[in-house]
Homo-oligomer: A and B are copies of this chain.
Amino acid sequence: MRLDLAQDVGALAARIVDIESVSGDERALADAVEESLAPLRHLKVFRDGNAVVARTDLGRPERVVIAGHIDTVPIAGNLPSRVEGDLLYGCGTSDMKSAVAVALRLAATLTEPNRDITYVFYDCEEIEAERNGLRRLSVAHADWLTGDFAVLMEPTDGLIEGGCQGTLRAEIVTRGTRAHSARSWLGVNAIHAVQPILATLSGYQARRPVVDGLEYHEGLNAVGVRGGVAGNVIPDECVVTVNYRFAPDLDLDQAERHVREVFAGFEVRLTDAAPGARPGLTHPAAAAFASAVGGEPRAKLGWTDVALFSKLGIPAVNFGPGDPNLAHQRDEFVSLRKIAASERAMLTWLS
């Protein structure tokens, strides 16, 4: 199926929202994207699984990457899309099919952009990192992703959000001695022993460091706790899972060291971690982009795939018309005006 890329960007967004593409099931939308871009003479189009990459090749001194995922979280009775006044409702409207519509419109209309552009439409962003389409491309086709600067069109409410915070999860473990709960004094209760861990978390003073001009806001929180053997047994183990969201002035090693220091004296098991990314706003292409978009860039607190670009050595920022607070919500919507404004800003930058 070929999408009509000549239509208004809001109408195109609605059309794309109505093509279901829950993570792992993006084929119909990937096909539509590929078939819509393939006929365009100024683009070379590549396909890998449910990811589509399209590039201009005009020999410009600079190349920028415009990337967005085409998958959504599961449908929650919120399709087909509907318009109420300025708002387009439906699964994926904010996160991030309105941005996909913008990128497709740019791909169709910018036949002679002032910078070479690589458009990346990828799959499986909303699920486990190992299946992430951008990660897969970075391994299998790193050459498709080269560039001097990248814009990841995640929902930012039309503002530039620089970099992203890192995330680290660890299990803090307490141990005790099992006993029958009828004679509890013969045991040592591992759940009771969790108390100082929770006290530490409750009293934790989160850093708010300024990195490359943007203020980040860290957090250290319990995201899970489990303990207990049976209803009549004093438990001999309890595990608190904590999530440390750290500013991009720390690398993974420093973040891990911090968590181990905070929980000194406890058994700390690192379970997974992903580095943050510095804002990248010092790059000349970024400065030009910021000036075209306007507004005051702010720090991205959530983790996004800009960290992947950062790992590839490509400075990247988040910028998209969606509202990050509506992502993954049943009543997700996006402002049609903001979609159009995003398209205008990108055109200004790239024309």
* A contacts, CB < 8 Å to B: 165, 167, 169, 180-185, 189, 191-192, 194-195, 198-199, 201-202, 206, 217, 219, 221-235, 238, 240-241, 243, 245, 272, 301-303
A331 to B37, CA, bound (A): 72
CB distance from A76 to the nearest CB of B (A): 16
User: Do B201 and A192 have beta carbons less than 8 Å apart?
Assistant: yes
21 CB < 8 A contacts A-B: A167-B182, A180-B302, A181-B221, A182-B219, A182-B303, A184-B219, A184-B245, A191-B198, A191-B222, A192-B198, A195-B199, A195-B202, A223-B229, A223-B232, A224-B227, A224-B231, A225-B225, A225-B226, A225-B227, A226-B228, A231-B241
Which residues of B sit under 8 angstroms from A198, Cβ to Cβ?
Answer: 191-192, 194-195, 198
Which residues of B sit under 8 angstroms from A226, Cβ to Cβ?
Answer: 225-226, 228
Q: Which of B191, B229, B232, B234 is A167 in contact with, Cβ under 8 Å?
A: B232
14 additional A-B residue pairs with CB within 8 Å, beyond A185-B206, A191-B198, A192-B222: A182-B219, A184-B219, A184-B221, A189-B201, A189-B221, A191-B225, A192-B201, A194-B198, A222-B235, A223-B228, A223-B229, A223-B231, A231-B241, A231-B243
User: Do A223 and B233 have beta carbons less than 8 Å apart?
Assistant: yes
A243 to B179, CA, bound (A): 13
